[in-house]
């Protein structure tokens, strides 16, 4: 009998020891995950109290209720402690979250981030405004073009190097991505013939097989066309001088150098006095004081015929410039690729 009393007393002491240990760990728990670990360790099927309860079968029948009551009471105390501690921890976690997410309504609001116009768009709008004020209209055409409009109607010989597959993106033997916006000019002439005058600029994307610091496989051109009676090279020079002086400043000077383009005759390259050094000579202009900006010339008679006009009765001039080159000069940008990388740090400097 004494051994049984000692045995039940030992079990009760184990239960109380497990209870006290569990209550201590519950009080020290730092989070709800710790509480779950404690619950499984002490109250789970294979937990400490569960193991003790499974040992009650070795006690005499009259002692089992006493030991069971002690174990159930300990279990209830641990469960109550777990519930109270869980509620306290959840409240603390909620308070910390609210504190972290709190908004101080007395603080000034965050500024709204506005978008920035792209430098190409800034310069294009300026170019368009200049020519619109001179009586020109803006014309557009397809970027996927027939070879006829891209080359043949513009008087390109069949063996012209620009038609080589290495320079142009051909989709089929007769369809390609346009290499310039000149097809817009011939299309517009055919649509308008024989009405006069024709006075348009044709901005848009063009595509060639180039890719380096000063070239891109996709870039932008702005081309211009004027067709009317008694148009001369002097009209062309005066138009371009007016345009460049309004774009770069009244101090700008220009010079025309003989050149060759299939769709104009005579043809010229146009240089402008460097707007960065005002003709004094700098790194950008190669210390020459001049920058090559665009090509131009009088519309070739065959192109006029292809457009539906009689070269004996009318004449005209055409010009074309790369928008990226004008933009790089205007903003002193030394790498064309910056214009296509969409780096907001770069774009914010130019608007």
Tens digits of residue pLDDT in 35-73 = 888 878 877 777 777 677 666 666 666 666 777 777 788
At 92 the pLDDT is 83
165 pLDDT band, cuts 50/70/90, is low
Q: Which has the closest alpha carbon to 223: 321, 307, 316?
A: 321
Q: Which residue would you say has higher pLDDT here, 299 or 211?
A: 299
Contact indicator for 183, 118 with CB cutoff of 8 Å: no
2: pLDDT strictly greater than 60: no
At 80 the pLDDT is 86
Positive or negative torsion for Cα 117, 215, 255, 286: positive
4: pLDDT strictly greater than 70: no
- The two tokens of residue 266 are 């005579």
Q: For the chain, what is the mean pLDDT?
A: 86
Q: Which has the closest alpha carbon to 42: 87, 82, 90?
A: 82
Work out the burial of residue 162: count CB atoms within 10 Å of its CB; fewer than 13 is exposed, 13-18 middle, 19 or more buried.
Answer: middle
First-last CA distance in the chain: 98
At 308 the pLDDT is 95
State the pairing for strand pair 175-177/218-228. unpaired
Query: H helices within 29-169, ranges in order?
Result: 32-43, 48-54, 64-101, 119-133, 147-150
Task: Name, of 148-162, 293-307, 336-350, the range with top average pLDDT.
Answer: 293-307
Contact indicator for 136, 223 with CB cutoff of 8 Å: no
Q: Which residue would you say has higher pLDDT here, 116 or 192?
A: 192
At 133 the pLDDT is 96
Q: Which helix (H) or strand (E) holds 138?
A: strand 137-138
At 221 the pLDDT is 94
CA distances 35 to 47, 52, 74, 103, 323, Å, are 14, 21, 17, 31, 68
335: pLDDT strictly greater than 90: no
CB atoms within 10 A of CB 145: 24
At 263 the pLDDT is 93
Q: Which residue would you say has higher pLDDT here, 33 or 164?
A: 33
At 1 the pLDDT is 45
The verdict on domain 119-347 having CATH code 3.30.930.10 is yes
* Whole-angstrom distance, CA of residue 314 vs CA of residue 137: 19
Q: Which helix (H) or strand (E) holds 330?
A: helix 323-331
Q: Write down the domain spans for the chain.
A: 2-101, 119-347
At 3 the pLDDT is 46
At 339 the pLDDT is 84
Q: pLDDT tens digits for 302-315?
A: 999 999 999 999 99
Those residues whose C-beta lies under 8 Å from the C-beta of residue 311, and which sit 6 or more positions away, are 301, 304, 305
22: pLDDT strictly greater than 70: yes
pLDDT cut 90: percent of the chain above it: 45
At 182 the pLDDT is 94
Q: Which residue would you say has higher pLDDT here, 108 or 304?
A: 304
Q: pLDDT tens digits for 231-258?
A: 999 999 999 999 999 999 999 999 999 9
At 248 the pLDDT is 92
Those residues whose C-beta lies under 8 Å from the C-beta of residue 127, and which sit 6 or more positions away, are 201, 203, 222, 243, 247, 323, 326
At 299 the pLDDT is 97
Contact indicator for 222, 293 with CB cutoff of 8 Å: no
4-8, 77-81, 198-202, 311-315: the lowest-pLDDT one: 4-8
CB atoms within 10 A of CB 148: 14
- The two tokens of residue 344 are 């907001």
Those residues whose C-beta lies under 8 Å from the C-beta of residue 275, and which sit 6 or more positions away, are 248, 249, 252, 291, 329, 330
At 191 the pLDDT is 94
At 63 the pLDDT is 66
Please, which residues bridge with residue 321 across strands? Answer: 222, 294
CB atoms within 10 A of CB 19: 22
CA distances 296 to 120, 241, 260, 319, Å, are 22, 12, 9, 4
């Amino acid at each position: 009998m004494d051994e049984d009393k000692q045995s039940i007393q030992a079990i009760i002491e184990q239960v109380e020891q497990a209870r006290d240990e569990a209550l201590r760990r519950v009080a020290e728990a730092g989070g709800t995950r710790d509480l779950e670990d404690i619950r499984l360790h002490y109250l789970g099927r294979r937990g400490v109290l569960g193991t003790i309860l499974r040992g009650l079968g070795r006690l005499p029948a009259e002692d089992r209720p006493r030991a069971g009551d002690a174990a159930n009471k300990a279990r209830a105390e641990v469960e109550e402690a777990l519930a109270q501690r869980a509620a306290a921890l959840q409240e603390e976690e909620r308070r910390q979250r609210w504190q972290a997410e709190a908004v101080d309504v007395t603080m000034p609001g965050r500024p709204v981030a506005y978008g920035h116009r792209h430098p190409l768009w800034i310069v294009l709008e300026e170019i368009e405004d200049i020519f619109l004020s001179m009586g020109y209209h803006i014309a557009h055409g397809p970027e996927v073009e027939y070879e006829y409009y891209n080359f043949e109607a513009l008087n390109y010989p069949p063996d012209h190097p620009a038609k080589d597959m290495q320079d142009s993106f051909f989709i089929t033997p007769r369809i390609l991505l346009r290499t310039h916006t000149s097809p817009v000019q011939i299309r517009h002439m055919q649509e308008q013939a024989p009405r006069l005058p024709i006075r348009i600029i044709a901005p848009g994307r063009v595509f060639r097989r180039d890719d380096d610091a000063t070239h891109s496989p996709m870039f932008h051109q702005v081309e211009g066309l004027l067709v009317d009676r008694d148009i001369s090279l002097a009209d062309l020079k005066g138009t371009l001088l007016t345009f460049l002086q309004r774009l770069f400043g009244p101090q700008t000077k220009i010079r025309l150098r003989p050149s060759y383009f299939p769709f104009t005759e005579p043809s010229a390259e146009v240089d402008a006095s460097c707007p960065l050094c005002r003709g004094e000579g700098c790194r950008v202009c190669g210390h020459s004081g001049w920058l090559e900006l665009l090509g131009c010339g009088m519309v070739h008679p065959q192109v006029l015929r292809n457009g539906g006009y009689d070269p004996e009765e009318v004449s005209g001039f055409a010009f074309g410039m790369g928008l990226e080159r004008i933009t790089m000069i205007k903003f002193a940008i030394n790498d064309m690729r910056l214009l296509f990388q969409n780096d907001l740090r770069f774009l914010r400097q130019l608007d």
